[in-house]
Amino acid sequence: MNIWGVTSTQGSQGLNALKGVESAQSTQAAMQQGVADVHDSVTLSVDAIRAAESTGDIRFDRVNAIRAAIADGSYETPEKIDLALDRLLDRLNG
């Protein structure tokens, strides 16, 4: 934002911003697609959790230990962060 004096301001503007009906339509389409993707992912995740719960595959003692480590700040280590970044880069390059 640029400030010109005490009483005048000019808001920030996006680069390459679309204007008009095309912008609204493309934004709405992208939002709907994004919502559908998120909904599908959440549905799959919830279904997987329910299946794991019903078969006893969730180790709640481990889940609670990890939650406690996150809460007290001891869960994140440089080694875990490096491993997570390596896996992320592998997925992005894959």
Q: Per-residue pLDDT tens for 21-69?
A: 555 666 666 666 667 777 777 777 778 778 877 787 778 888 899 999 9
**Residue predicted with more confidence, 19 or 79:** 79
Tell me, yes or no, if the pTM score tops 0.75. no
C-alpha 1/C-alpha 36 separation (Å) is 34
Query: Cα–chain-centroid distance for residue 13?
Result: 25
pLDDT digits (tens, 9 = 90+) for 19-32: 555 556 666 666 66
Amino acid identity of residue 37, one-letter, is D
